[in-house]
Amino acid sequence: MKKKSSKQPTFREGIALNKRAFDLWRQAHPMLFVSSAFYKIVSSLTPYVGIYLSAQIINELAGSRNPQVLKPLVLITLISTVFLSLLIGVLDRWKNCQYYEHHYKRQKIYMDKMLDMDFCSLDDQKTHDLRSQIRQNEQWNGWGIERILYYFDSGVGALFSIAGAIALTVSLFTNQVPSDAGKLVVLNHPLFAALLVLLLLFFTLASPVFSNMANQYWARSAEDSKLGNRFFGFFGFLAMAQHRATDIRMYRQEIICRHYLKKNKSFTPDSKIAQYAKGPMGVLNALSGLVSTVFTGLVYIFVCLKAWGGAFGVGSVTQYIGAITALSQGVANFMSILGDMKNNTTFLRTTFEFLDIPNDMYQGSLTTEKRSDRKYLIEFQDVSFKYPSSDTYALQHVSLKFHVGERLAVVGMNGSGKTTFIKLLCRLYDPTEGVILLNGIDIRKYDYDDYLSIFSVVFQDFKLLSFTLGQNVAANVDYDDNRVASCLEKAGFSDRLKSMPEGLETVLYRDFSDKGVSISGGEAQKIALARALYKNAPFMILDEPTAALDPIAEYEVYTKFNEIVGDKTAIYISHRLASCRFCDHIVVFHEGNIVQEGSHKELVEDEKGLYHELWHAQAQYYQ
């Protein structure tokens, strides 16, 4: 993983990263930009239509008051106002409909990356830290790719506002003060026009410069605020977590929550951002507002003097003041966006550090044999492994062979390497040293997805989703009803299935349906077993699959499951050694090494072995 850069962002880097983020959004949600562009173009230019027509009406009222001129102007003003208002309403609804989808589109960008990511990268704590940082940046002030939507929306509005303002401002310089206006004739001199333009540029640029300098303090306090968001995101909603409700009430954990919420000062008057706001940030924002106010005053003086000299009517005063003010605001907004894009660069670095995590696992091309006799041979040859963020080996010099049809038990104490062994077998990780063979071929040479298809696994921390029971078992939207019911029956869930209000269409949990059904931990494990059976893969791996069951229920599940495994290879990982009696072969792990192998009878009779020690430590609970 790339090391996060700490150097100050440059304008060039800011443009590059923001453009990349825009391209990302354009691919994910193109219609959002189309709808937003149309809305901003029309809404930005509409005020100028009103300004221009109002100025013409006022000029006519202050001048000749010709009804033949006034009537068409008033009629055009009314029609254009109604039409543009309706058009803006339609475009606004279109834009909002597209915008309301953007949250899900943004999440999909990250979810697609995580689904495509090598499991070893996904399992790395650094990856989750990056994802958490991105989430906190977005919650803090919309930083990261979320900010791009604001830039586009505001940028298009600013550009067309500038264009409309320029169109209405040109005549301010072309309309001359009459020669009989005395000293005011000097306003016709090109130097005055040049001076006004220079003042326009100076004040227009000065205002966003101060504003951008103030906004830099948001970025400076981001780390402190991200921590605050983490505190509030966790402790602030802790009471809503159903799985923590009993502990919170029994141990009054809300006292600890309140302590940490009070201790964190991220959003209090004593916070870093509050101190900035009361100090330099506030001063800079005040200067930005002051510059804009001074410029507006100068514009009023220049326009009113030309009107006083007779260059144009009183109605044009509102046109020019409104147009120049809008021009200044449009340029200021655009410059402010450019400065804000530079501030956003730091946050986009984090975003693309996450999105650029490479997939380094070799993707083979060989197809695994779909043998009718299911004759597969798995062999570990001197396999050692350590996790990317660790210097300690989780497995060392593991050598092992087993065939399809065998019942293999993998036992050992916590941290002995049992689950790591399964992750390597399923190629969620590749060995640090040594090789794993399937039918004599390095498993890295097989097509990755095709290789995974030969395994059905019930992981220790398996998850069910808040969808229907049938969809959970089939892991698909469409499924074979009879096959799902058969798998549930084999897993010992048939009695509970009969009480389900809508059978296989019963929704699990209540996240998405008021009719959802809550299930116990033991019932969830049976559903997970049924899911593994439904896949019908030649290798079935059970990693502590009955941890939520009592010993008698566990015995019944294993006995029945052993009957329906058939010619599949069943690999059991368990702390409860009673399940090992059903296995043909037992492997005992300790501190990353295989320390014993053999049948249950052989191992339990070896009084010096670890298995004998573990068995007799648990035997009293199974008598």
Q: Architecture of 14-221+271-355 per CATH?
A: Up-down Bundle (1.20)
CA gap 565, 560 in Å, rounded: 9
Neighbours of 166 (CB within 10 A): 14
| Cα-based torsion angle of the residue sequence 2, 4, 5, 6 in order, rounded to the nearest 10 degrees | -160
CB distance 356 to 24 below 8 Å: no
For residue 541, the surrounding DSSP H or E stretch is strand 539-543
CB distance 596 to 610 below 8 Å: yes
Predicted pLDDT at 550: 62
Predicted pLDDT at 188: 80
Tokens of 78: 């009314």
Convert 447-471 to b/e letters by CB count within 10 Å (16 or more is b): ebeebeebbbbbbeebebeebbbbb
Concatenated DSSP letters of 581-594 = GG-SEEEEEETTEE
Neighbours of 187 (CB within 10 A): 18
Predicted pLDDT at 24: 94
> How many angstroms separate the Cα of 58 from the Cα of each of 63, 111, 308, 314?
8, 58, 16, 7
Q: What is the DSSP letter of 365?
A: -
CA gap 344, 336 in Å, rounded: 12
Predicted pLDDT at 620: 62
Q: In this predicted model, what pLDDT tens digit does every residue of 384-415 receive, in sequence order?
A: 999 887 888 999 999 998 876 788 889 888 88
Convert 4-34 to b/e letters by CB count within 10 Å (16 or more is b): eeeeebeeebbeebbeebbebbeebbeebbe
CA 313 to chain centre: 57
> How many angstroms separate the Cα of 309 from the Cα of each of 178, 195, 413?
7, 19, 96
CA 69 to chain centre: 59
In the chain, ranges of CATH 3.40.50.300 domains: 377-621
Predicted pLDDT at 622: 52
CA 397 to chain centre: 40
Concatenated DSSP letters of 151-184 = HHHHHHHHHHHHHHHHHHHHHHHHSPPPTTSGGG
CB distance 610 to 588 below 8 Å: yes
Tell me the pTM. 0.76
> How many angstroms separate the Cα of 451 from the Cα of each of 220, 382, 556?
48, 21, 32
DSSP helix/strand/coil, 447: coil
CB distance 200 to 323 below 8 Å: no
In the chain, ranges of CATH 1.20.1560.10 domains: 14-221+271-355
CA gap 427, 333 in Å, rounded: 53
DSSP helix/strand/coil, 148: helix
For residue 598, the surrounding DSSP H or E stretch is strand 593-598
Tokens of 486: 């058969």
Tokens of 84: 């543009």
Tokens of 116: 């495509």
pLDDT, block means (10 residues), the chain with 623 residues: 60 90 93 93 90 86 84 91 94 92 90 90 87 83 88 91 87 82 80 77 75 71 65 65 69 66 67 75 78 78 84 82 82 82 89 92 82 72 89 91 82 86 91 92 91 88 89 92 91 87 90 85 87 88 72 66 72 77 85 90 89 79 54
Radius of gyration of the chain, Cα coordinates, nearest whole angstrom: 36
> How many angstroms separate the Cα of 377 from the Cα of each of 47, 111, 117, 372?
76, 35, 29, 14
> How many angstroms separate the Cα of 204 from the Cα of each of 172, 330, 535, 601?
19, 9, 66, 87
CA gap 11, 569 in Å, rounded: 59
For domain 377-621, give the fold: Rossmann fold (3.40.50)
CB distance 425 to 436 below 8 Å: yes
Predicted pLDDT at 224: 64
From the list 455, 449, 456, the residue with the least C-alpha distance to 367 is 449
CB distance 350 to 90 below 8 Å: no
